[in-house]
Amino acid sequence: MEEVKVITPEELQKRVENGEELHLVDVREDEEVAEGMIPTAKHIRMNDIPANVDYFDKDKEYIFICRSGRRSENVCYYLQEQGYKVTNMAGGMLEWEGKTVNK
């Protein structure tokens, strides 16, 4: 199994603040997202990813986010095996110090 690319919360925060067009997907549960998520992230719960695989475009890179980085890593392996370009935010929202919004 090929390793999944990783980005640190600090690296991602710089890219968000620089206004880069990023495709962020938060895979946490509803109650976790209610505590705040990265402003440009789309919320698709981990268990809903297989049913929403049509949302993803194989020409774009997606950065996956969860609470600690473990669930998002699992989603990355799942989608990477299907040919998608994925990156996992290591440490998850526990280590995110950037701006958040409540959805």
- What are the catalytic residues? 66
Q: Residue 77 CB: number of other CB atoms within 10 A? A: 14
- 45: β partners: none
Strands (E), 1-103: 5-7, 23-26, 42-43, 61-65, 85-89
Pick from 87, 102, 70, 92: nearest CA to 3 = 87
Pick from 75, 56, 57: nearest CA to 66 = 75
